[in-house]
Amino acid sequence: MNTELVITDLHANVADKEILKGVNLTVKPGTVHAIMGPNGSGKSTLAYTLAGHPGYQVTGGEAWYQGQNILELAPDERAKLGLFLAFQYPVAIPGVTVANFLRAAVNAQRAEEGKDPKQTAMPMAQFRKELREKLTELEVDESFVRRYLNDGFSGGEKKRIEILQMSMLKPSMAILDETDSGLDIDALRIVSQGVNRLAEQNGEMGALVITHYQRLLNYIKPHFVSVMMDGRIVREGGAELALELEEKGYDWIREEVAAR
C-alpha cells in the first residue's frame, strides 16, 4: 500500500472563489514536509481541502493516499485511512468532556463495517492507561480531560489537547495547520516535543507542517520545505530554504515567480 500523500494539480474554491490553482505536492512517509508562504497564499485551504471540510469545493485534481483518491471519500473515511488534521483554531464543544471526545474518536477510528461497535471499541482499561501515558508526555494535568473540550482553554491548552488527540489516534499522515499560532515558547516546545515523539514512535508517519515562521521548524525539523503563493507551490528545497525565508522574507520569491 502506497503511504505517500501525492497531490496532483489540485484546484479548490471557497465561496465560489478559486484559492488552490493547481497544487502539486508529495509527502513521503517518515518525513516532515513544511509548507510556508505569506497570508492568503492558500496554505490553510489546502489543509481543509485534504481533510474534507464541506466549505471547500474541489474543482479539479487528485490526492492519493493509501491507494485511494481521498478527495472522493467522506471526512471520516479519510480519518480511518490515517489522515489527521490539527486545526489552526480548535473549536470548543461545551457539554462534551475531553475524555469522552477522545474515546469516541478512538472508537470511531477502530470501527469496522458490518461489526458491532462494541467488538471493535478499545477496552476502557486500555484507553485509560494510554490516556494517562500521553497526558504525562504532553505535561497536561489529568483534570483537563474532565473539562469540556476547549471550553475556556487558552491557546496553548487547545493545542496541547489537539496533539493529545493525535497521539491517541496515531495517524499515519498528520497535517498541522499553523500549530504554532498563539503559542508562547514553553507551549511551543511541549507541543513540538509531542509531535516529534509521535513521529519517533511511528517511523512511517508523514507530517505536513503549515507555518508562517521558522521558529516552529526549530523544534520540528523539516526534511523538505515548499513555498506556496497564489494557490500554487512555487519553490521547493530543504530545511535551509526556511532559514532563507526567515532572513529575506518572500519578496525575492515573488520576483522570481514574476520573472518566469
- If 0-12 CB within 10 Å is exposed, 13-18 middle and 19+ buried, where does residue 29 land? middle
Could you tell me which of 225, 249, 161 has the C-alpha nearest to residue 33? 225
Assigned C-alpha cell, 136: 504525562
DSSP per-residue letters across 124-139: HHHHHHHHHHHHHHTT
The residue written with cell numbers 481533510 in the block is 51
Residue 207: its H or E element: strand 206-210
CATH superfamily of 5-259: P-loop containing nucleotide triphosphate hydrolases (3.40.50.300)
DSSP per-residue letters across 71-117: GGS-HHHHHHTTEEEE-SSPPPEEEEEHHHHHHHHHHHHH--TTS-H
Specify whether the backbone of 231 is left (phi greater than 0), alpha (psi in -120 to 50) or beta. left
Q: What is the pLDDT along the chain (260 residues), one digit of tens a residue?
A: 568 999 999 999 999 999 999 999 999 999 999 999 999 999 999 999 999 999 999 999 999 999 999 999 999 999 999 999 988 778 899 999 999 999 999 999 888 877 888 888 999 999 999 999 999 988 888 999 999 999 999 888 888 888 899 999 999 999 999 888 778 888 888 888 888 888 888 888 999 999 988 888 989 999 999 999 999 999 999 999 999 999 999 999 999 989 88
CA–CA separation, 22 and 225 (whole Å):
18
Specify whether the backbone of 42 is left (phi greater than 0), alpha (psi in -120 to 50) or beta. left
The pTM of the full predicted model, rounded to 2 decimals, is 0.89
DSSP per-residue letters across 138-164: TT--GGGGGSEETTT--HHHHHHHHHH
Indicate the SS3 state at residue 217: helix
Q: What is the 3-state secondary structure (H, E, C) of 59-73?
A: EEEEEEECCEEHHHC
CA 83 to chain centre: 8
